[in-house]
Chain A
């Protein structure tokens, strides 16, 4: 018997990533982004706290449009990581782990993080 040649779609641009898969890979991407840019966030926290002069420096930095854009990116990364993380914790304890519920929750994670980023982003701009 010859082995059947079954199609293997490991080409990332040909496979269709299921919705929970999208939430999962975004969890990794957002977590990595937060790690890579943590130095900038720690620096901003330090400047905001150290002295009145450094706080003024912080305010000037945070007022720059490029920094604002960066912070909005960090905000989305955090919110997505937060909500997707809560979803994973619920899945760990077998809440909403059947396919329909986990898909609905994936949508909720994606929409809630984008919507909250938009609302807070507009308010903080």
Chain B
């Protein structure tokens, strides 16, 4: 019989790596995005909208958001593990964070694909 705590070890390295990879993905997106704003800043609504309705930009922004919410889950889980000791409270907060992040992901997709 396998005796393991649900919140146990062994997936730490995967999360550590995911945190770094998602950070790099977001850093590249942000640098490119700031570059676009510097080189050809959108002057009014139409240009701002067409920037995000562009196929490549929409895909990149989607990848950015998924990276952001994945990264946020790892970071918030680390913080909750460090500061919230009662297991029940921590589990409740972790579930709340997951639900909020899934909701954000759905919302972000709605924003991007309603353009």
Quick check: A28 and B79 within 8 Å, CB to CB? yes
Interface of A is mostly: helix
Interface string of A74-95 (1 = CB under 8 A from B): 0000000010011001001000
Quick check: B20 and A82 within 8 Å, CB to CB? no
Count the A residues whose beta carbon is within 8 Å of the partner chain — how many?
Answer: 20
Residues of A within 8 A of B23 (CB): 85, 89
Quick check: A45 and B111 within 8 Å, CB to CB? yes
Quick check: B45 and A55 within 8 Å, CB to CB? yes
Quick check: B79 and A42 within 8 Å, CB to CB? no
Is B89 an interface residue when CB atoms closer than 8 A count as contact?
no
Residues of A within 8 A of B27 (CB): 82, 85-86
Residues of B within 8 A of A35 (CB): 72, 75-76, 97
A26 to chain B, nearest CB (A): 13
Within 8 A of A (CB), among B94-115: 97, 104, 107-108, 111, 114-115
A-B interface, 6 closest residue pairs, ranked by CB to CB distance from nearest: A55-B45, A46-B111, A31-B75, A35-B72, A52-B45, A85-B23
B residues near A, CB below 8 A?
20, 23-24, 27, 30, 45, 48-49, 52, 72, 75-76, 79, 97, 104, 107-108, 111, 114-115
